[in-house]
Structure 1
Amino acid sequence: MGRKRRTFTDKFKAKVAIEAIQGVKTLSELASEHGVHPNQISDWKKQLLAKAPDLFSSGKSRPGKTEEELTAPLYEEIGRLKMDIKWLEKKL
């Protein structure tokens, strides 16, 4: 029977990654202090650095819908309404 896989909280990962970025201690020192493998700390550090710019984005840089994507459903609705009007005119 193997060892149970450990899970770490996001808060713990962030704390360790920030310590690694600060560079006060080496990865080996941090690993022995926190009881994780140095490669794991390195991965957490890379993830933090990759996602850090997204934390401060205001959402303006997100690609919006094109004009065609916005108007297509409206034209479909207009077509349905025109068909309804024609059907009602025939019934009268």
Structure 2
Amino acid sequence: MALAAVKVEKTLAELAQLYDVHPNQITTWRTQLLEGAAGVFGSDSATEAAEPAIDVKTLHAKIGELTLVNDFLAGALGKAGLLPSAKR
């Protein structure tokens, strides 16, 4: 409906009657569409701000830490005889 208001093919009164909505509501939706259209259709700065920065060094450190823990637990379970034979 807001797009129809932007196209201006029909008057606000005609659109209001067609969609059974008050003309002021159509005007509000049209204004919101025009103000927010840049964000909807691909503003590059908005996408960059939405994505958090990734610290690769921290992620690599965490992977190393988890690998050590997994290796330790696999060894401990293997010595205790609790690890299936396929994992030994």
The structure where helix makes up a greater share of residues is 2
Which residue does 1:4 correspond to in 2? none
Distance 1:76 1:36, change over 3 A: same
**Residue 67 in structure 1 maps to residue 54 in structure 2:** yes
- Name the CA distance, whole Å, in 2 between partners of 1:31 and 1:86: 70
Distance 1:67 1:30, change over 3 A: closer
Q: How many residues align?
A: 73
Distance 1:35 1:65, change over 3 A: closer
Alpha-carbon distance, 1:24 to partner: 5.5
- Name the CA distance, whole Å, in 1 between partners of 2:69 and 2:11: 72
Alpha-carbon distance, 1:85 to partner: 4.3
Question: What stretches of structure 1 of length at least 5 have no aligned partner?
Answer: 1-15
- Whichever residue aligns with residue 72 of structure 1, its letter is T
Which residue does 2:86 correspond to in 1? none
- Name the CA distance, whole Å, in 2 between partners of 1:35 and 1:85: 67
The 3-state SS of whatever aligns with 1:46 is helix
Moved over 2 A (4+): 18-30, 32-35, 70-74, 82-89
Distance 1:31 1:86, change over 3 A: closer
Larger RCO of the pair (alpha carbons < 8 Å, separation 6+): 1
Question: What stretches of structure 2 of length at least 5 have no aligned partner?
Answer: 80-88
Structure showing greater Rg:
2
**Percent of matched pairs sharing the same residue:** 30
Per-residue Cα deviation, 1:26-58 (whole angstroms, up to 9, x for no partner): 43343234321012212221232233213431x
- Name the CA distance, whole Å, in 2 between partners of 1:86 and 1:50: 57
